[in-house]
Homo-oligomer: A and B are copies of this chain.
Amino acid sequence: MISEKTKSGNLQTVKRLPTYLYLLNNLNANGREFISSTHIAAMLKLDPTQIRKDLAVTGITGRPKAGYSIPALITAIKEFLRWDNTTDAFLVGTGNLGSALLGYNGFKTHGLNIVTAFDTDPAKIGAIIRDTMVLDISKLPDLAKRMQVHLGIITVPADYAQSVADLMVSAGIRAIWNFTPTNIEIPPYVVIQNEDLSTGLAQLSVKLAHVLAKDSTASDE
C-alpha cells in the first residue's frame, strides 16, 4: 500500500513535514476539518505554493475553495514519515543527553521506541533509566540480531562515537542518529543523521551578532 511512484520528495520538504503535522494536530484538536495552503502559509510564514508542493508528496489532494482535509493530511503525513508504525531503536551512552532522550515522551507519537540502552560504565549497567534497562554494550550485537533492531542512537562522548558506530554496523544496524560532533564513517548501505547541537548554536550565534550589530547602525537605515 506504499506509493508506487516512490516520489520521495526532497529532504527540505521532509524537514518541513513535522512542522505541518504539529500544526494540523492542533487544528484537529480544535475541531477544524479543512485548511487551505494560504492559511497554513500565513501561520508558518512560508510561501503558499511551497505548502502545496510539500503536501503533494503525501498523495493527498485538496479541494478548490475548501482546501485540504485535516484528518486526511495527518494520516498521510504520518504514513509518509513512517510514524504510523513503531520502529525499535537502541541507544548507546546514558549520560545527560542519553538519559534525556530516554525520558522524551514525544518519540512515542513519532513511532520511535527505544527498547534498550547500553553503556560501558559498570555503575550504570543493570540500572533502569526512565523505564529502560541499561545493558553492557557487549550485549548489543547479539540483541540487535535477535530483536531485528535497525536503528541506533549514539549519545556517547565524541571520542567513542566511531567505535560504537562500527559495532552497530557489524550488528546489522542500518540507520544511525548521531548526537556527537564526530564525522562518522559508515558503509553505503547504512544511513546517518547528524544531530550536532553546535551546528544550531553556530547559526544562532551569527544571527544574534548580526541583529545586535544592526542596533548600532540603525541610524544609517
Q: Establish whether residues A177 and B206, one from each chain, have CB atoms under 8 Å apart when the complex forms.
A: no
Q: Among B183, B198, B210, which residue has its beta carbon within 8 angstroms of that of A110?
A: B198
Q: Cβ of A175 < 8 Å from any Cβ of B?
A: yes
- Complex CA distance for A112 and B205, rounded to whole angstroms: 9
Q: Establish whether residues A110 and B195, one from each chain, have CB atoms under 8 Å apart when the complex forms.
A: no
Q: With both chains docked as a complex, state the minimum distance between the C-beta of A83 and any C-beta of chain B, in angstroms.
A: 7
Q: Which residues of chain A in 181-210 are interfacial with respect to chain B, using CB atoms and an 8 Å cutoff? A: 181-183, 189-191, 193, 195-210
Residues of chain B contacted by A208 (CB below 8 angstroms): 82, 87, 150-151, 174-175, 191
Across the two chains, which residue of chain B brings its CB closest to A181? B22
Q: Cβ of A23 < 8 Å from any Cβ of B?
A: yes
Residues of chain B contacted by A182 (CB below 8 angstroms): 22
Q: Establish whether residues B206 and A106, one from each chain, have CB atoms under 8 Å apart when the complex forms.
A: no
Q: With both chains docked as a complex, state the minimum distance between the C-beta of A79 and any C-beta of chain B, in angstroms.
A: 11
Q: Among B17, B201, B214, which residue has its beta carbon within 8 angstroms of that of A177?
A: B201
Q: With both chains docked as a complex, state the minimum distance between the C-beta of A63 and any C-beta of chain B, in angstroms.
A: 25
Pick the most buried of A18, A23, A43, A202: most chain B CB atoms within 10 A of its CB.
A202
9 smallest CB-CB distances across A and B, nearest first, come from: A100-B100, A175-B208, A193-B204, A96-B103, A96-B100, A191-B207, A18-B198, A82-B205, A22-B181
Supply 17 A–B pairs (Cβ within 8 Å), ascending by A: A14-B202, A17-B202, A19-B181, A22-B183, A23-B183, A81-B202, A87-B205, A96-B99, A96-B103, A97-B104, A110-B205, A112-B201, A151-B208, A175-B208, A191-B211, A193-B200, A193-B207
